[in-house]
Amino acid sequence: MFDSTAPIGIFDSGIGGMTVARAVTRLLPQENTIYFGDTAHLPYGDKSTAAIQAYSIKICNVLLQQKCKLILIACNSASAAAFELAREYVGSKAHVMNVIDPVVDYIKERYAAKTLGLIGTKQTVLSNVYKKKVDALDRDIILKSLATPLLAPMIEEGFFDNSISESIIARYLSDPGLDGISALILGCTHYPLIKKQIRLFYGGQVEILDTSEIVAHSLRAWLEQHYLTNQTGEGKRDFFVSDYTQSFEASTQLFFGQPTSLQHYPLWE
């Protein structure tokens, strides 16, 4: 049995997973969290499956050393490429979650016989993981997927509320491949940072599914189901990075509204 006071480990290639981490800490403020940003290898979206798997296993090992009770792969690319391998590697030492299954469960209950859109990295879209899982629901859901590879690097560079990002977003969302959708899945944890611009583009005609909120609620439900919510914690936040950058440190302050210190933890010495 896991220790309920043990931390939750969350990892991503960069700042994108902080959208999920912030949603988790808002929903479960008493939980201790450890966030690992693999800044030495970002973005994951254009990496090979083998490379993402290698990075993910290394990070899981770090989080196991920190005695995490739950490890959340807060990255769609890593969830698509490495979830099964990570779960096998971690075994019974911690519970492993991804950011795809909670979203699929969510749309199962709400979007039968609807046409949905998905935007994500090349790795996520080309893996077809969402389409396979949605088709398996047998709910007559049509999923139209579009790779949007410029968005995550753009957001990492801080371009998420200006005319540059606006034109790139509009170019992608105007693609005929997304015609006729009733809702759009933000299939990358970076994308909630441009949710406002995406919503403005559609003018309220398309529902925007913020996966970070969906995943946070699923995580809380699992902890409650297994009586593992931390009843005594004060919500300690720790941040590890594989390569220190000032921009990442600034991003943690932007997300969590307080000064933070990063611990440099290279994956390969």
Task: Measure the CA–CA gap between 242 and 209, rounded to whole angstroms.
Answer: 30
Amino acid 269: pLDDT: 57
CA dihedral 238, 2, 99, 216 (to 10 degrees): -70
Contact 189, 74 (CB under 8 A): yes
User: 212 phi and psi, to 5 degrees?
Assistant: -65, -40
Amino acid 259: pLDDT: 63
- Find out whether 45 is annotated in a ligand binding site: yes
pLDDT tens-place string over residues 140-173: 999 999 999 999 888 888 887 788 889 999 999 9
Contact 133, 162 (CB under 8 A): no
Amino acid 41: pLDDT: 92
12 Cβ neighbours under 8 A, 6+ residues apart:
18, 20, 36, 37, 38, 44, 74, 75, 78, 189
CATH class of domain segment(s) 101-211 = alpha beta
Residues of the chain with pLDDT under 70: 1, 259, 269
Amino acid 244: pLDDT: 87
- Find out whether 229 is annotated in a ligand binding site: no
Amino acid 247: pLDDT: 78
- Find out whether 226 is annotated in a ligand binding site: no
Amino acid 118: pLDDT: 98
User: What is this structure's pTM?
Assistant: 0.93
Amino acid 164: pLDDT: 86
- Find out whether 92 is annotated in a ligand binding site: no
Q: Which residues are catalytic?
A: 75, 188
Task: Measure the CA–CA gap between 72 and 139, rounded to whole angstroms.
Answer: 27
DSSP, res 31: S
Query: Is the peptide bond prior to 43 cis by the omega test (within 30 degrees of 0)?
Result: yes
**Which part of the chain has CATH 3.40.50.1860?**
8-98+213-264, 101-211
Contact 67, 6 (CB under 8 A): yes
- Find out whether 217 is annotated in a ligand binding site: no
CATH class of domain segment(s) 8-98+213-264 = alpha beta
Contact 8, 72 (CB under 8 A): yes
Task: Measure the CA–CA gap between 17 and 24, rounded to whole angstroms.
Answer: 11
**Strand stretches in 13-114, DSSP E:** 33-37, 70-73, 95-98
Residue type, 258: Q
Task: Measure the CA–CA gap between 73 and 82, rounded to whole angstroms.
Answer: 9
- Find out whether 105 is annotated in a ligand binding site: no
- Find out whether 19 is annotated in a ligand binding site: no
- Find out whether 25 is annotated in a ligand binding site: no
Task: Measure the CA–CA gap between 252 and 72, rounded to whole angstroms.
Answer: 18
